[in-house]
Amino acid sequence: MAIVRNLARALVVPLLLALGACGDEPEPAAAPPATAAPGPSSPVPESASAAPPADPAARAAEIVARLSDEDLAGQVLMPYAYGSSATEVDEDNARANQGLAGVNTPAEMIAKYRLGGMILVGFTVDDPTSKTNPTTNVENPEQVRELTAGLRDAALKLPASAPLMIGMDQEYGTVTRVTEGVTILPSAMAFGAAARPDLTEAAWRAAGQEIAAMGVTVDFAPVADTLNTNGGGVIGSRSFGSDPKANAEQVAAAVRGLQSAGVAASLKHFPGHGHTTADSHDELPVIGQDRKRWEQQDLPPFRSGVDAGAGVVMSGHLNLQSVDKGVAATFSHKIMTDVLRGQLKFTGVAVTDAMNMAPAKKWPAGEAAVRALNAGNDMLLMPPDIGAARDGILAGLKDGSLKRERLTEAVTRILTLKFRTAQTPQPELSVIGSPAHQQAVTALDAAAVTVLRGRCTGALADGPVSVFAPANREVARVNLVKALQEAGVQVQTSGGAVIRLVGYGDQRVDLDDSAAITVMMDSPGLLAQATTPTLVATYSSSKLSLTALAAVIAGKAKAPGRSPIAVGKLPRSACAK
């Protein structure tokens, strides 16, 4: 709650600045392109050379009062860049950065546009967010730490002299940017199955320390979306489950864990993507519940995350018909200001979902930027045209379609959060993959394993076993084989009781009716179609999750998890009380 209280104090200065404004705020209009490059920054007063205020809010207010329009416009932008280094990139990445921003390197992009933030990106075929991530600039913890150090150095040379907000989608599960060398948490649904907020907080504290060690200051997690009862829709295992009260407890625990490590947590996708069927990367999904049901089903996890002090809320490109029909939440003042700020009392940083997604590209980049800011967003994530977004903001200030006090309010919140996260010293890389972190996540994985059909005591299979999986799950198959062997189970290449692994994106054709055990390593809905005598869900294909599974198969551990969504006519657990 300290974050909330101090951010509230931070808004006093920009609101005072607003007292000189007059007239009604006009409807945002398309911004004409700027014809001249931004001018020089406002000179820094001599008093600025004195020691900065210790309080992050006061320091933010002091800086905002002296920034130029160009500096303010840059602070609300968080694009991605090509290249795994801030200052040295190959010809292909330089060419890509030229097309994106007219520069060669990420550091040059920060300098040219006076950026307040940058997001690290990663493309994998099975990632549901891959459409907004055209490149990969993260490889391993050492490389990421070196990259973020270079990005921070570039930002500190700007007139704001403020840390860079460095974001990353490290949700774990199907959306995980850095996989090499880090302690891998399971998907959110595994946390829901374990139903142990204490273990959730401990696991996310471990994750937060590793994320902070890499130099990332904002993790775009946790997902606060509540699924429908059967877990349908596009969010799947990224959600904690279908129970809004249970999800609220999990979200609050994840926020506490992350932020105890000095990493700002981001609640997404506000006002809730769990009861939708369409993908907001491609179209504008509809949230069809009436206002009362939406407040009962979707709102509780966001409310609990705000109450836990989450520094960031991400707006979704979602059509909440009961509040502002036909308008994406990202561009809705009724949702992003009246509900988020007024009803939930959120005073942190509101960031848009990627502005290069289809619903946000309804307007040119400059006009979309102004509309998103006027709705109540503070930071614009991944604008499709950085220059046009910046120029649109400047044009909006000039023609009055964007009030300067709205922009200063946004930048004050951003700077306050950046100074607050900077108060926590960056951990050394040695914390990554530490035994303590492995232990914390292992405890969570063990609590999540769920038997939906089969034995509850003793080994799940008699005699030797053999493990099979679709070709794209070979890593998981090998990891389970090794874990079973370490647990004392005899594993054969063929001829034993068959264990069939399935995961994200698999369908009925990927099941094996002749298997003895079917294991789902993602949202367990597919198990409703499986005919095997034993059905198990791990909700994750991580090495630690499969190690926990091996202990259950070997009869050396119980399966205490309960599915957080309904799986056909199966019980939520055949074993847990």
- Of these residues, 243, 298, 353, 522, which one is catalytic? 353
Question: What phi and psi, each to the nearest 5 degrees, are found at residue 153?
Answer: -60, -40
First to last CA, the chain: 35
Torsion angle in degrees (nearest 10) through CA of 402, 404, 407, 411: 170
502 - beta bridge partners? 520
Please say if 281 is a catalytic residue: yes
Q: Is-contact 273 234, C-beta < 8 A? A: yes
Q: What is the spatial distance between Cα 123 and Cα 159, in angstroms, rounded to a whole number?
A: 33
Q: Is-contact 527 535, C-beta < 8 A? A: yes
Structure tokens at 261: 């490590």
Instruction: Return the HEC string of 80-135.
Output: CCCCCCCCCCCHHHHHHHHHHHCCCCHHHHHHHHCCCEEEECCCCCCCCCHHHCCC
Q: Is-contact 196 212, C-beta < 8 A? A: no
Q: Is-contact 120 83, C-beta < 8 A? A: no
Please say if 353 is a catalytic residue: yes
Structure tokens at 114: 């006076």
- Of these residues, 281, 298, 391, 522, which one is catalytic? 281
Can you say whether the dihedral through the CA atoms of 347, 312, 4, 426 is positive or negative?
negative
Burial of 35 (0-12, 13-18, 19+ CB in 10 A): exposed
Q: Which residues are catalytic?
A: 281, 353
